[in-house]
Structure 1
Amino acid sequence: MRFPLRRLNREDVEADATGARLARTPAAQNGTPERRLYAGRKLSRARTIADLRAMAHRRLPAFAVEYLEGGSEEEATLSRNLAALASWRLLPRALVDVSRRDQSVALLGRAMPLPFAIAPTGLNGLFWRKADVLLARAAAQAGVPFAQSTMSNDAMEEVAAVPGLRHWWQLYAFGERPIRDALVARAERAGCEALVITVDAQFYGDREWEQRRFAHPGRLTMPSILESALHPHWIATTLSGGMPSFANDVGYVPKDKRGFFDSAFWIRANMDHSLDWNEAARLRALWPRKFLIKGILNANDAERAQRIGADGVVLSNHGGRQLDWTISSLDVLPEARRRVGSQFTLVVDGGMRRGTDVLKALALGANAVFLGRATLYGLAAAGESGVTRAVDIMREEIDRDLGLLGAASVKELDASFLAR
């Protein structure tokens, strides 16, 4: 199969001299009517995820924006995630009673009020102090799962203590086998609902633009350091307690590599390149609760995950940050659903920033979607309240779009609501 490359992001923006964000749109000619994303600090004025993105860009230093946004190599996979969403059009149904609309779904056997969860993302301490706890609190308030990353900056036990949280643990297989087994045992003791093993990151994607921000691994260039000093609000809300650390992993890192950047680069360099299906099956047998495999882009692999006893897979290309020029999760979703049947859990991610994005994924066969950058934009813009605003924006859009689509419930969605 061949897929066209779409280089421009859907929320394609440029900065003017004041730092505001100008959105390109077919409604404008020669700059009128003006389409300007909100980039200030008044959270209530953020109408879209794109507004939260603009707010985050204004608050963060350039190296942190690069880490948040960048993809690998040509960033073609990053482009494909958005192009795949744009390649589907909605087929609304008329004269349907949509006076009541229902977004609830069942995920891993438990009901939740919204059809998305917050994805595992690492190094969130770059965006706000206690970032993983803040993401967990917002998730608990919304009644959706939060998947905490191995590369998170807050201890899993602290996150697990968030009242009402559906806590998942995402595992990177780095170092020797006893390290991952110890992390799995800790996740079990912490009461995590699900273990999510990521299998598409045994090598670190070549994020060239990010690397240009570093003089050498673990050390930012002097221009990056000086530019960061121009962001006092970021410094006050992110570095007030000092540089973050990898609270769950630092004990496994050599003592001379335990600084924030040093430990990140050490873990990346010590991923287990021998990770295979036998090891995945061993971890499945070791873990007593729900088990997901993340980073699947092949329907054959989805079937194989089902055969080793996984409860589901996350169809993902790691947000365009690993292997470049791959397909998107939406590209493989219909075939994966056909192969694994209706009872196997399929979660998808990759560029989900609109309510219509979520509806498209559900119509193609997903049980739910992961929100990654969408909620990180909220976090980077305004901390916990920003994450809550991102969740509220997605909730409001899904509700409105369901009504416009002529569907009273997300459970009604299938491919008949879509056109290529």
Structure 2
Amino acid sequence: MPVITNIEDLKRIYERRAPRMFYDYAESGSWTEKTFRENTSDFEDIYLRQRVAVDMTGRSTASQMIGEDVAMPVALAPVGLTGMQCADGEIKAARAAEKFGVPFTLSTMSICSIEDVAEHTTKPFWFQVYTLKDEDFMRRLFERARAAGCSAIVITVDLQVLGQRHKDLKNGLSAPPKLTPKSIANMMTKVQWGLGMLGTKRRFFGNIVGHAHGVKDASSLSSWTAEAFDQSLDWAQIAKFKEMWGGKMIIKGIIDVEDAKMAAKVGADAIIVSNHGGRQLDGALSSIRALPAIMDAVGDQVEVHLDSGIRSGQDVLKALALGAKGTYIGRAFVYGLGAMGEAGVTKALEVIHKELDISMALCGRRRIDELDRSILMIPENFEGRWQS
């Protein structure tokens, strides 16, 4: 068993064990991947202020996200195709999150269904919703999430049009994977992954197949997906979804101050500053660079979370010190899942928690609510100065 000390260790194992098309799906952005890269590298521009001779006993990373108690303000982000990274991946990730005491967010485009995850967990999870044209399907999706005991929905608003991800197109990404000479040759080298997939019945998009009108198998799914996303989405429709759901709503995909203001106006319980992990508009600001201006604009009106680029507990610390009340990890937990299954997700959470706890202590802070910008050294032009 290799010694795992950071998220990069899990990523190396994951790359060896997962089929190439699914590794590339997780580890890529759109177009030139500029935003994908800067989501992580921009964290490095922020420095931490070390403080000494401060009582560091009795520390706690416990906090709340949308009123729910969390062991640390880190949720598992919604990631499509998680059940292709590892057999029954969404169930395994949800169980690890529950045991650790952090929220798990299930994607609409998951392999395991809402019902699958609810059956294998005991606490409420969050459900991420893509805005689709089929209103009847959307209504039934909310009903299923309600029946499963989901405590919040996460509306993703930055995927009306799909960003082009070159690797996915070249790999012929699909679930289950298309069998070509190249994909078969690659999958034959992933013995552990293959045995897991042979042992599960969950190989299709579980929230859609058998639930969306006319989608009964993989062949009908592809044509449905190509036409499913609602390009006419606007704020009035988002308000309608909130009314349709009737519970807590988080809006994911906010990267601009004006959009943050609109999200607060329609009554979001929280917004997630996110550029979809650099997978949509390439050339957009990284999430961490966009966060300060959004905090200044709406931080006193709505709970602000941050997603995209977090690979360590220090990244979490920096986002929290800039004002975010919560953060999300997507790729970081997928690395763990693909490397070691449920135990790998737990390990990813342990790594991030330890880094957060120790770094917080060395900055002279004992509790999450003590974090503020005074523990950071931020370059003067970090947010950028742009011509009007």
Letter of the aligned partner of 2:225 in structure 1?
Answer: I
> CA contact under 8 A between 1:125 and 1:238: conserved in structure 2?
no
2:179 matched to 1:206? no
Q: 2:142, 2:67 → 1: CA distance? A: 22
Q: 1:392 aligns with which of 350, 355, 358?
A: 350
> Residue 93 of structure 1 aligns with which residue?
51
Write out aligned runs for 1:11-160 (5 A). 42=1, 45-160=3-118
Q: 1:269, 1:47 → 2: CA distance? A: 43
Give 1:162 shift. 3.9
2:340 matched to 1:340? no
Q: 1:233, 1:190 → 2: CA distance? A: 31
CA-to-partner distance for each residue in 1:264-296, whole Å, 9 max, x for gaps?
A: 564144211111111001011122211011111
Aligned sequence identity (%): 37
Letter of the aligned partner of 2:88 in structure 1?
Answer: K
SS class of match (1:170): strand
Write out aligned runs for 1:258-407 (5 A). 258-259=217-218, 263=221, 266-342=224-300, 344-407=302-365
- Gap change, CA 1:378 and 1:192, over 3 Å in 2: same
| Dislocated runs of 4+, deviation >4 Å | 215-218, 252-257
Q: 2:132 aligns with which of 165, 174, 181?
A: 174
> CA contact under 8 A between 2:137 and 2:212: conserved in structure 1?
no
Q: Which runs of 5+ in 2 are unaligned?
A: 379-388
Give 1:240 shift. 2.7
Q: Which has the higher contact order (CA 8 A, sep 6+)?
A: 2
> CA contact under 8 A between 1:139 and 1:165: conserved in structure 2?
no
SS class of match (1:166): coil
Q: 1:227 aligns with which of 168, 173, 186?
A: 186
Give 1:228 shift. 1.5
With 335-344 and 308-317 compared, the bigger mean Cα shift is at: 335-344
- Gap change, CA 1:287 and 1:352, over 3 Å in 2: same
Give the TM-score of the pair, scaled to structure 1. 0.85
> Residue 376 of structure 2 aligns with which residue?
418
2:367 matched to 1:409? yes
> CA contact under 8 A between 1:127 and 1:238: conserved in structure 2?
no
Q: 2:367, 2:261 → 1: CA distance? A: 29
How many corresponding residue pairs?
A: 377
Letter of the aligned partner of 2:100 in structure 1?
Answer: A
Over the residues paired in the alignment, what is the CA RMSD in angstroms?
2.0
- Gap change, CA 1:361 and 1:227, over 3 Å in 2: same
> CA contact under 8 A between 1:213 and 1:220: conserved in structure 2?
no
Letter of the aligned partner of 1:222 in structure 2?
Answer: P
- Gap change, CA 1:207 and 1:124, over 3 Å in 2: same
Q: Which runs of 5+ in 1 are unaligned?
A: 1-41
SS class of match (1:275): coil
- Gap change, CA 1:364 and 1:330, over 3 Å in 2: same
Give 1:256 shift. 7.2
Letter of the aligned partner of 2:87 in structure 1?
Answer: R
Give 1:105 shift. 1.2
SS class of match (1:396): helix
> CA contact under 8 A between 1:329 and 1:349: conserved in structure 2?
yes
Letter of the aligned partner of 1:234 in structure 2?
Answer: W
